[in-house]
C-alpha cells in the first residue's frame, strides 16, 4: 500500500510541477484518473515480476528433469522400453489378424454371392419342374378320361 501511495505522490509531483505534464494535470483531469493510471503501472510491474518468477521456476524444473534423467534407474528405463516394444509387437500381431479377418470376410462375401446365385438357379429349376409335373398330370388325366 505504501508503494502505491509513493508512486501516486511521485506521479502527481512530477506531472504537476514540470512541463512534461502539459495539459494532463490541468483542472479538467480528475485525480481518480491519475490514481488509476498509477495503479495500472503498479499492476503491470507486479505482473512482470510474476512472469520473471514463473520463468525462473520453469528453468529450475527443466534443470531438475534433466538431472533426473541422468540419475534414473537404467533397469527401469530398459523395462519401460521393453514394455513399449512388447506393446508394439502385440499391435502388429493384432493388425495381421485383422487383415486375415478382412480376407475371410471377403471370402464369405464371395461364397454368399455363389449361394444366392445357386438358389436362383434352383428356384428356376423348381419352377420348370413344377410346370413339367403339372403338364404331365394334365396329360395323364386326359389319357384316363378318354
pLDDT tens column, 63-108: 887 777 666 677 777 888 899 999 999 999 999 999 898 888 888 8
- Total-model pTM: 0.37
Spatial CB neighbours of 39, under 8 Å, sequence gap ≥ 6: 4
Say if residues 14 and 38 touch (Cβ distance below 8 Å). Answer: no
Q: Which of helix, strand or coil describes residue 12? A: helix
Residue 106's pLDDT is what?
86
Retrieve residue 123's grid coordinates: 428356384
Q: Could you give the CA distance from residue 109 to residue 98 in angstroms, rounded to a whole number? A: 16
Say if residues 37 and 25 touch (Cβ distance below 8 Å). Answer: no
Amino acid at each position: 500500500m505504501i508503494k502505491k501511495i509513493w508512486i501516486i505522490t511521485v506521479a502527481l509531483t512530477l506531472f504537476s510541477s514540470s512541463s512534461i505534464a502539459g495539459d494532463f494535470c490541468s483542472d479538467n483531469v480528475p485525480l481518480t484518473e491519475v490514481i488509476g493510471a498509477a495503479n495500472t503501472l503498479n499492476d503491470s510491474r507486479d505482473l512482470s515480476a510474476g512472469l520473471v518468477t514463473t520463468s525462473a521456476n520453469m528453468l529450475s524444473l527443466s534443470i531438475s528433469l534433466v538431472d533426473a534423467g541422468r540419475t534414473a534407474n537404467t533397469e527401469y528405463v530398459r523395462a519401460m522400453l521393453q514394455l513399449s516394444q512388447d506393446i508394439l509387437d502385440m499391435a502388429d500381431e493384432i493388425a495381421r489378424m485383422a487383415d486375415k479377418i478382412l480376407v475371410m470376410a471377403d471370402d464369405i462375401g464371395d461364397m454368399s454371392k455363389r449361394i444366392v446365385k445357386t438358389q436362383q438357379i434352383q428356384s428356376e429349376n423348381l419352377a420348370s419342374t413344377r410346370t413339367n409335373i403339372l403338364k404331365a398330370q394334365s396329360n395323364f388325366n386326359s389319357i384316363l378320361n378318354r
